[in-house]
Amino acid sequence: MPLELVLLDIAPMMTVLGGVVLELQDCALAHLKEVIATDSEEVAFKNVDVAILVGSMPRKEGMERKDLLKANVKIFKSQGAALDKFAKKTVKVVVVGNPANTNCLTALKSAPSIPKENFSCLTRLDHNRARAQISLKLNVTCSDVKNVIIWGNHSSTQYPDASHATVAIGGKDVPAYEAVKDDAWLKGGFISTVQQRGAAVIQARKLSSAMSAAKAICDHVRDIWFGTPKGQYVSMGVISDGNPYGIAEDLLYSFPVSIEGKNWKIVEGLKIDEFSREKMEVTAKELLEEKETAFEFLSCA
């Protein structure tokens, strides 16, 4: 399937973006037919099938969380409205720019003619980090580790949950808790390592995750397009309407989902214990507060 890639950035970045175009050409990608660089939302979103919203306002020295949120509401309101106007109604919108969950909710609310199920935000990087930690612990490959879950916000309050995960050992999928045999780690160090992984990368690299984030975006979009393997699920931030886990309606929250025919479904029937429930609530509460502030900006902007 030939791909046409349209790159959107702000006007002062057009020279830099030109450099990205050169590199993309130099990759000699088999399926890349055309690359267009633009600073126009109309050009960028016209008839697109997939929109990956990466650009957002980064936190600057001394900037209040509220001001940062306000700047991002403005960006994602504008991009949501442009998607509403110019994109196909079947467009799949993936929000990466932080705060990803709330930016996704802002875009979704600003695009009323596009089904809200077609919006999601990236928590696949956290999901991949969780798989990787378990595979490192057991000295198996990541593909042996399945069905970890990231619940909630893409932040340090997220809940990386291994209680439904399995590890393939001797050709059999064994519950992760049985395979790891270290409950204290799965309820402690595992969770905090995944929660803090973004900060660890920044500390070491002096730059935030780039390669792993790009890989996670590819995984996320591929699964939306082609579906998830039978019996397996992945994590993504989606609208919480009618979800079976008692998370407040109308929150953009990361859930375990399975995907078929380009439709995601929140995985049902997972047993949630006390420990998990408490952690799921903490991250929901954080998102609820952020949503309320964002909606104030959204209605007055």
Ligand X SMILES: *[C@@H]1O[C@H](CO)[C@@H](O)[C@H](O)[C@H]1NC(C)=O
Site membership for ligand NAD, residue 122 (CB under 6 A): yes
Closer residue to ligand X in complex, CB, 37/152: 152
Site membership for ligand NAD, residue 55 (CB under 6 A): yes
Site membership for ligand NAD, residue 156 (CB under 6 A): no
Taking CB under 6 A as the binding criterion, the range among 97-105, 129-137, 160-168, 273-281 that sits at the site for ligand X is 97-105
Measured at CB, which residue is nearest to ligand X? 155
Closer residue to ligand X in complex, CB, 46/88: 88
Site membership for ligand X, residue 118 (CB under 6 A): yes
Measured at CB, which residue is nearest to ligand NAD? 55
Partner from ligand NAD, ligand X, none binding residue 209, C-beta < 5-8 Å depending on class: ligand NAD
Interaction pattern, residues 74-103, with ligand NAD; x per rule: CB under 6 A: -x--------------------xxx-x---
Site for ligand X in 268-287 (CB under 6 A): 286
Cis peptide before 99 (omega within 30 of 0): yes
Q: Is 147 annotated as a binding residue?
A: no
Locate 40 and state its tokens.
């126009």
Site membership for ligand NAD, residue 38 (CB under 6 A): no
Q: Is 127 a catalytic residue?
A: no
Query: In whole angstroms, what separates CA 4 from the centre of its chain?
Result: 22
DSSP string, the chain: --EEEEEE--GGGHHHHHHHHHHHHHTT-TTEEEEEEES-HHHHHTT-SEEEE---PPP-TT--HHHHHHHHHHHHHHHHHHHHHHS-TT-EEEE-SSSHHHHHHHHHHT-TTS-GGGEEE--HHHHHHHHHHHHHHHT--GGGEE--EEEB-SSTT-EEE-TT-EEEETTEEEEHHHHH--HHHHTTHHHHHHHTHHHHHHHHHSS---HHHHHHHHHHHHHHHH-PPTT--EEEEEE-TT-TT-PPTT-EEEEEEEEETTEEEEPP-----HHHHHHHHHHHHHHHHHHHHHHHHHHH-
Site membership for ligand X, residue 256 (CB under 6 A): no
CA-based R_g, the chain, Å: 19
**Active-site annotation holder among 31, 127, 154, 220:** 154
Q: Is 97 annotated as a binding residue?
A: yes
Query: In whole angstroms, what separates CA 140 from the centre of its chain?
Result: 25
Q: Is 72 annotated as a binding residue?
A: yes
241 CB neighbour count, 10 Å cutoff: 12
Site membership for ligand X, residue 147 (CB under 6 A): no
Interacting residue with ligand X among 85, 222, 262, 277 (CB under 6 A) = 262
Cβ pair 78, 103 in contact under 8 A: no
Taking CB under 6 A as the binding criterion, the range among 87-95, 142-150, 166-174, 266-274 that sits at the site for ligand X is 87-95
Active site residues: 154
Annotated binding site for substrate: 59, 65, 98, 129
Binding footprint of ligand X on the chain (CB under 6 A): 89-90, 92, 98-101, 115, 117-118, 139, 153-155, 262-264, 286, 289-290
Question: What is the binding site for ligand NAD (CB under 6 A)?
Answer: 8-10, 13, 54-56, 58, 75, 96-98, 100, 122, 125, 154, 208-210, 213
Summarize the annotated binding site for NAD(+) as residue ranges: 9, 72, 96-98
